[in-house]
Structure 1
Amino acid sequence: MTLEDDLKATVRAIQDYPKPGIVFRDITTLLGNAWAFRRAVDELVQPWAGSKIDKVAGMEARGFILGGAVAHQVSAGFVPIRKKGKLPHTTVRIAYSLEYGLDEMEMHADAIKPGERVILIDDLIATGGTAEGAVKLLRQIGADVVAACFIIDLPELGGAAKLRAMDVPVRTLMTFDGH
């Protein structure tokens, strides 16, 4: 078995969630497995080990869990990217596309200095709307987005390809067919 197979075995599939026809890939089982969690974090950061990374930006909410661990691993600061209205200080905001409309995300305006090298982290990339919005938000305040990392890629939905078209290297640990 490969590392991808070993990690896939720790991800729970939930049929028809959040709506009929969708198979939800639940990483809480991976996070609850000490070996799998550690290995996933190590593998996400492996290409940048020894590189200067200033910040890790994690997208709400599972990106916070992974991003904190990755930031610790690469000795970088952590920056939360949140839904509108959740941060207490001066923020920068961007609208992004969802399957069913628009939403907005924000981060503190002073969280990243221009030119800082940032890795974007989340659990899964599907259509890429949220990740694309996060990259634009980071670039809007001058971040150098070094890479975007995800545990799971749903390649049929095209999100990783969208980020690569924005000149953002994408690292994923496993792929699943379908939605």
Structure 2
Amino acid sequence: MPLLPVRILLFPVQNHQRVRNSADILCFAVASTKKKLHTSLRNFPDFPIKGIDFVDILPLFADFEVHTQLIRALELEVLQFSNGVKPDVVVGLDARGFLFGPSLALRLGAGFAPVRKRGKLPGPTSEASFEKEYGQDFFQIQADAIKKGQKVLVVDDIIATGGSAAAAGQLVQQLGGDLLGFLFILELDFLKGRDKLPAPVVTLLSDDTK
């Protein structure tokens, strides 16, 4: 008996329904990935000094699959909070912002610019200061790293007090960049560092993510 052709009827779906369903699926996927990523974090009490509970993010980069999930999740977070607007430049903070900043920049089709401690970058630089627990420190960025009007995303591994990220934001503004926002892997919520920052703040994980 010959096989009869099968016709699959696709009923039209309103555009807003498609958008809503896609957004719901995206949110679910990101939430699921966050839980998986959080299990890779490690805590070391009393490091580097007594009383500090150090959160180690390096296992996120040790495994290929976890690393891939991390970069993809960060990319989705950026696209969600910016309504699809991509940065022209991703600025990574010294030093752990360098671990994922370049990879994320590639995913977003953006350039990458490092912010480093004073004296580490050649050529003309712009400088901003920030307070640390033991005194004042300085961040620098090369003077030609950002062109006037470029959209800039600042990234680092963890936001704690927010001082270093705020200094990086100042550097972006000094060079005439349009500060799109700040992105972090982990946030220590109780320190309220985001309150110091002059643009939207997005964190992939919080210190109480389960």
TM-score, normalisation: structure 2 = 0.79
CA distance in 2, matches of 1:8, 1:80: 26
Match of 2:182 in 1: 148
Match of 1:34 in 2: 64
Aligned-pair CA distance for 1:32: 0.8
**Partner SS, residue 132 of structure 1:** helix
Residue 100 (1) aligns with residue 134 (2): yes
Q: Work out which of the two has the higher radius of gyration on C-alpha atoms and give 1 or 2.
A: 2
**Partner SS, residue 52 of structure 1:** coil
CA distance in 1, matches of 2:159, 2:142: 23
Match of 1:84 in 2: 118
Match of 2:33 in 1: 3
Q: Which has the higher contact order (CA 8 A, sep 6+)?
A: 1
Residue 46 (1) aligns with residue 76 (2): yes
One-letter code aligned to 1:175: S
TM-score, normalisation: structure 1 = 0.92
Percent sequence identity over aligned pairs: 40
Question: Does the 8 A contact of 2:71 with 2:100 survive in 1?
Answer: yes
Alignment of 1:43-82 (within 5 A): 43-49=73-79, 50-82=84-116
Question: Any stretches of 5+ residues in structure 1 without a counterpart?
Answer: none
Aligned-pair CA distance for 1:47: 4.2
CA distance in 2, matches of 1:79, 1:139: 14
Residue 139 (1) aligns with residue 173 (2): yes
CA distance in 1, matches of 2:66, 2:73: 10
Between the two proteins, the alignment pairs up a number of residues equal to 174
Question: Any stretches of 5+ residues in structure 2 without a counterpart?
Answer: 1-30
CA-to-aligned-CA distance 1:131-168 (integer Å, 9 cap, x gap): 011001111111111111110000111112322xx2x1
Following superposition, which runs of at least 4 residues in structure 1 exceed 4 angstroms of deviation? none
Question: Does the 8 A contact of 1:83 with 1:106 survive in 2?
Answer: yes
Structure with the bigger percentage of strand: 1
Equivalent residue in structure 1 for 2:47, among 17, 25, 29: 17
CA distance in 2, matches of 1:159, 1:148: 11
Question: Does the 8 A contact of 1:67 with 1:78 survive in 2?
Answer: yes
Question: Does the 8 A contact of 1:81 with 1:134 survive in 2?
Answer: yes
